[in-house]
Copies of this chain bind each other. A is one copy, B any other.
Amino acid sequence: MDNLTPTSTAAEALALRYGAEIPAAGPWNEHIALLLSHRSIRGYSPTALPNGTLETLVAAAQSAATSSNLQTWSVIAVTDPAKKAELARLSNNQKHIEQCPLFLVWLADVSRNQRMADAAGVTLETMPFLETFLVAAIDAALAGQNAVVAAESLGLSTVYIGALRNNPAEVGAVLGLPPGTMGVFGLCVGYAAPEVTNAVKPRLPQSAILFHDSYGASDEAGKIAAYDAEMGAYSRRAGMGDENWSGRVLLRMGRLAALSGRDKMVAVLRAMGWPLK
């Protein structure tokens, strides 16, 4: 069951994603099977990507919705080994950033719009607000996710790198970023290393996160306990020993040190041209 392919049936795919509490999903097709088959991969072979792959992924990314068609994002394709090594060092030393043949840095980017305004002699009153940053970050995420789907449809693997936010100013220096930009996440793209296996990871049951007309799940604690059991079984199947999801969440969100410097983000972003008012 671990070798899920995009041709898996709905029942197989849902069992891998949910374990015991399988939702009563309806219509199904090969596109949905592809989405359900997602796994993050943290080890890459050095095999180069076919010509034009980057441009195909970016065409998919640009086809995602963008708020008011403002297009306040950009992407940097990093293939220079020295820059990938620098970015890996700035992102908790994740070796797959160096391994993958293509590392994409997704930028929230209002600097292009600012240059347009400067040329026209116009003041952009909305620039200093958190909302403007949020639109740019969300639109970068919509774009990045389309690129992930396109990559996986081509047999490529990916993993998002949130640790790119550990040192936004230093990342900016490596990539020559102007004010009004920020690398909101990285994305490794490449062929999974043969020795790297990663099964589809179970998620919380739908009844814990999907609500109808108003917020709230009945017996949330019971659903979380059932998910802890699913994740424990998943972890043992993968030979990673026992795993307690709740315990991991409390550890990850409990300790300030787990933010790896991201607790300073507001001050850093302000210095990078995002007032976040």
Contact = CB atoms under 8 A, between A and B. Distances in A.
A180 to B, nearest CB: 11
Contacts of A131: 165, 259, 262-263, 265
Given A77-B210, A215-B176, A32 B55 contact: no
A250 B116 contact: yes
A170 to B, nearest CB: 14
B23 A58 contact: yes
A38 B65 contact: yes
Contacts of A238: none
Interface residues on A, range: 35 or more
How many copies are assembled? 2
Interface in A219-256: 220-221, 224, 245-246, 248-250, 252-256
A97 interface: no
Interface of A: 13-14, 17-18, 23-32, 34-38, 40, 50-56, 58-60, 62-71, 73-80, 83, 107, 109-110, 112-113, 115-117, 119-120, 122-127, 129-132, 134-135, 137-138, 141-142, 144-146, 148-150, 153-154, 159-160, 162, 165, 175-178, 181, 184-185, 200-201, 203-204, 206, 208-216, 220-221, 224, 245-246, 248-250, 252-256, 258-259, 262-263, 265-266, 269, 276-277
22 contacts: A17-B59, A18-B59, A35-B149, A55-B206, A58-B206, A58-B209, A63-B200, A69-B245, A77-B212, A77-B213, A79-B212, A112-B209, A119-B221, A120-B246, A134-B184, A135-B162, A138-B141, A142-B144, A175-B215, A266-B276, A266-B277, A276-B276
